[in-house]
Amino acid sequence: MIWIVKNLWLIPALPLLAAGIIAVNKQPARKLAAGLAIGSMALGFLLSLCAFAATLGHHGEGAFRETFSFNWIQFGGQWMSIGWVLDPLTAIMLVMVTFVGMLIFIFSVGYMAHDKNFMRFFNFLALFASGMLGVVIANNLFLLFVSWEIVGLTSYLLIGFWYHKPSAAAAAKKAFVTTRIGDLGLLLGMVWLYAQTGTLNFYDHGHGCMEASALAGMVSKTICGGMMISTAIGLLIFLGAVGKSGQVPLHVWLPDAMEGPTPVSALIHAATMVAAGVFLVARVYPLMAAGAAPVEHGVPVTTALTIVTWVGAVTAIFAATIAVAQNDIKRILAYSTVSQLGYMMMGLGVGGVAVGMFHLITHAFFKALLFLGSGSVIHGCHEEQDVRKMGGLKKYMPVTFVVYAIGMLALAGFPLFFSGFWSKDEILHHASHWSVSHVPFYLGCTGALFTAFYMTRQMGLVFFGKYRGYEESSHSAHAHSSSESHSHEPHESPAVMTVPLIILAGFAILLGVIGTPAWPWFDAYLNGELAELQIKFSNLAASAGLMGASALIVLTGITVGWMLYGKRQRKTAAEKDVLEAAQPAIYKLLENKYFIDELYEATVIRFNAFAAWLCDFADKWIFGGAVLLVKYLTVGASWLYRLTDENVVNGGFDAGCGSIRGGGGILSRLHSGRVQTYLRIIGVALVALIIFLIWGRKA
Amino acid sequence: MTPLQVCLLVSAFLFAIGFAGAVTRRHAILVLIGIELMLNAANLNFIAFWRYGAHPEALTGIIFVLFSMALAGAEAAVGLALVIAIYRHKETSNLDEVKELKG
């Protein structure tokens, strides 16, 4: 066993240690906090590179996979063992999380520089990194679940980081409660899986629950309706992923989560945590794919994977349409994240682990780039998030403009030069070959069109035209001197913020190289094969048609977006949106996110509120009544006791004490204090004694 | 009447005088004097029993009396000191008014 496998635990342990040290330090130690958090991530990144290097070059005999497990808790006669696994899936995620995390940590130093809770922020970030890395390395559904919940907790803490804002506090609660619904499914799936296989280890030299013998056992049994147990468990676990990755219908929390600081949105709600759901599905992919009819080449088709595909496809198109009508720069990106996560799920369903994961990795880089870019924009525009009040920032923030444009093109899937194009194309390619239905493919294509459109809209509104930010202030205060109004202008962010952006931009372009159809290194790496550079005409011809089509779709989206929002700029911030003017009803529907929140408000939440009211009523009057009854009984009994005590028991004692005191009073009269009386008594007594002695002797 | 009987009678008389003085007098110093008289009556008894007793050569009676007189001196000193302290405190030496042990 290689040393790195044994010491893989160090990677999540380092940020945990950093979080602990930050937590026990006093508030002013800002440099220490940032240094510890970034340092632990940098060290973790180096270790991840070692782990990554260890998994390279193992082709032919299947994917590299080494595990390390130990017994942790004993219950009954069984041991719960936990451990970690190093395989290509883990390695690639480790490198991505530590690297993106490190860059975002560095960015946060600049972004949070003025926040007085700087230390708390880095404490939570480091704790989050620890949990996320724990999810990644876990070789055990239990350890994964524990880390998963740590991640959920830090997500809650960081969304509500500015908890004095009511909207942030509400968003934090919403995120926590919504993901809990999914986690319940995950927990049930976990328990069921344990009941079926007696282990939660994924890989354990043939005994793990993701290995052939356990899977065969679960496939052979069915529950009602002929559904295989493996499918049922897989779907329960998928429910956890739906909650975490913001898939329909549990997507509602993710856009609201943008109330948190922007680096948090970038790290947790775009690049890593929300991808954990996709990662989870990739991790339990053998379970999802178990029991599929044997296929010669291509991907297995099972009920579980079909449902994953449909959920993903619906989410992809659903969120992409909502993003068109949003005006908050971060919300647009949030819906875009939901949509892209849908693509990943769809990729997992139609194309297997490599397809979904490839999009996850490329998306992590360019979405982190976009979010940090939006953070830079917000920072530069003095905490303004409404795109209608921006505009013309190209002039003021050139670096941010360039990197943001790269991120936007990558997300939109601009042909050939950007990573997003290759990863999205791979998903669409597999979707077009999916044997069950072609609808997800069309949904995906439409989603791609919308993606290109809303990203162009955002670019046009934010970076082109004229700056609309100081309309109101200049209206209200014309008398202000020019120097003062100059300070209201947006400004470029400091180097600590732009350098991570530039690095991320580089990766947003370069990462596409590892997954092109000509050289599918990523696919081969995950499957343990040797990637060959295969520039064969037949290969290219097979994918060229689709590539051309998707390129056409993207270009259409960008062109339409540019026509509507780039060339024809809105004059004022209050002006109606172009689409709103053309189709007010549809725009309103999209702007209000299909009224999903209102729907939930009217159904689930109202029901919940009713149940809560019922419980409250029962608590107050039925259980509370019983408690009150007991209370009054007790009070009555104690009143009775007091009466007895005071009148019977105490009365007896008082009488006894009174008589003794009276006796003492009588006796105390003998002690008059008159010395001569004493002497007299002594004399009389002496005489009496002598007389008694004399006469007594005679008698 | 033998000389012993005479001595005992005298000492009994002396004791009776002392006792009567100690019991009846109100003044603390006079009470003390009465006590001294009673003590000396006892001393007289010591001497008489020694002188007319079985071993007049042993000097036991004289030694007793010497001790007793030393004691009486000490007792008188303490008694007088007490009387003075009481007088200072209560502004009186009337024993009927000094009847409380506390303060």
Secondary structure, 3-state, A556-612: HHHHHHHHHHHHCCCCCCCCCCHHHHHCHHHHHHHHCHHHHHHHHHHHHHHHHHHHH
CB atoms within 10 A of CB B5: 11
Secondary structure class of A469 (helix, strand, coil): coil
pLDDT of residue A697: 78
Q: Is the pLDDT of residue A378 over 90?
A: no
Q: Which of B8, B15, B17, B23 is the best substitution to test chain A (most A C-beta atoms within 10 A)? A: B23
DSSP string over A428-466: HHHHHT-SS-SHHHHHHHHHHHHHHHHHHHHHHHHHSS-
A676 and B98 in contact by Cβ < 8 A? no
Q: Is the pLDDT of residue A556 over 50?
A: yes
Question: In this structure, what token pair is assigned to residue A561?
Answer: 């977006």
Helix (H) or strand (E) holding A75: strand A66-75
Question: In this structure, what token pair is assigned to residue A648?
Answer: 């019977």
The gap between the terminal CA atoms of chain B, to the nearest Å, is: 53
Q: Which residues of B touch A676 (CB under 8 A)?
A: 22-24, 31, 95-96
Q: Which of A463-472, A480-489, A515-524 has the lowest mean pLDDT?
A: A480-489
> Quick check: bond before A415 cis, omega within 30?
no
Residue carrying the six token digits 């094969």: A529
Secondary structure class of A78 (helix, strand, coil): strand
d(CA A74, CA A560): 62
pLDDT of residue A37: 92
Q: Is the pLDDT of residue A481 over 50?
A: no
**Residue A201 one-letter amino acid:** N
Residues 6+ apart with CB under 8 A from A284: A141, A202, A210, A234, A237
Q: Classify burial at A488, counting beta carbons within 10 Å of its beta carbon; exposed 0-12, middle 13-18, buried 19 or more.
A: middle
Closest CA to A150 of A138, A136, A132: A132
Residue of A nearest to B16 (CA): A683
Q: Quick one: pLDDT band at residue B18, thresholds 50, 70, 90? A: very high
A477: left (phi over 0), alpha (psi -120 to 50) or beta: beta
Could you read off the pLDDT of A56-65 as tens digits, one per residue? Answer: 876 656 678 8
Question: In this structure, what token pair is assigned to residue A452?
Answer: 């290109």
Q: Which residues of B touch A674 (CB under 8 A)?
A: 95-96, 99
Could you read off the pLDDT of A104-141 as tens digits, one per residue? Answer: 999 998 888 888 888 999 999 999 999 999 999 999 89
pLDDT of residue A396: 85
Question: Average pLDDT over chain A, rounded to whole?
Answer: 85
Q: Which residues of A touch B98 (CB under 8 A)?
A: 673, 675
pLDDT of residue A464: 86
Could you read off the pLDDT of A628-658 as tens digits, one per residue? Answer: 999 999 999 999 999 998 888 888 888 899 9
Nearest neighbour of B101 by CB, restricted to A673, A676, A679: A673
Nearest neighbour of B99 by CB, restricted to A672, A679, A680: A672
Q: Which residues of B touch A668 (CB under 8 A)?
A: none
Q: What is the rounded average pLDDT of the residues A5-10?
A: 88
pLDDT of residue A474: 45
Query: What residues form DSSP beta bridges with A84?
Result: A68, A138
Question: In this structure, what token pair is assigned to residue A41?
Answer: 């991530």
Question: In this structure, what token pair is assigned to residue A175?
Answer: 């995120």
Closest CA to A4 of A35, A48, A43: A48
Question: A56 with A99: CB under 8 angstroms?
Answer: no
8-state DSSP, A79: E
Q: Which residues of A touch B19 (CB under 8 A)?
A: 683
Q: Which of A282-286, A393-397, A444-448, A669-673 has the lowest mean pLDDT?
A: A669-673
A680 and B23 in contact by Cβ < 8 A? yes
Question: In this structure, what token pair is assigned to residue A189?
Answer: 């799936």
pLDDT of residue A534: 58
pLDDT of residue A102: 92
Q: Is the pLDDT of residue A482 over 50?
A: no
Q: Which residues of B touch A672 (CB under 8 A)?
A: 99
To the nearest whole percent, how much of chain A has pLDDT over 70?
93
Question: A393 with A413: CB under 8 angstroms?
Answer: no
A680 touching B, CB under 8 A?
Answer: yes
Question: In this structure, what token pair is assigned to residue A504?
Answer: 């991320």
Helix (H) or strand (E) holding A228: strand A227-228
- Domains with residue ranges and CATH for chain B: 3-90 (1.10.287.3510)
Q: Is the pLDDT of residue A475 over 60?
A: no
Could you tell me if the ipTM is greater than 0.85?
no
A674 touching B, CB under 8 A?
Answer: yes
B95 and A683 in contact by Cβ < 8 A? no
pLDDT of residue A541: 66
Does A490 or A244 have the greater pLDDT score? Answer: A244
Could you read off the pLDDT of A165-187 as tens digits, one per residue? Answer: 999 999 999 999 999 999 999 99
Q: What share of chain A is helix, strand, coil (3-state, %, to 5)?
A: 75, 5, 20
Closest CA to A243 of A186, A159, A298, A198: A186
A673 and B100 in contact by Cβ < 8 A? yes
Q: Which residues of A touch B83 (CB under 8 A)?
A: none
pLDDT of residue A171: 92
Residues 6+ apart with CB under 8 A from B53: B61
B31 and A675 in contact by Cβ < 8 A? yes
Could you read off the pLDDT of A77-109 as tens digits, one per residue? Answer: 888 888 899 888 899 999 999 999 999 999 998
Q: Is the pLDDT of residue B25 over 70?
A: yes
Q: Which of A432-446, A527-541, B8-22 has the lowest mean pLDDT?
A: A527-541
Q: What is the rounded average pLDDT of the residues A454-475?
A: 76
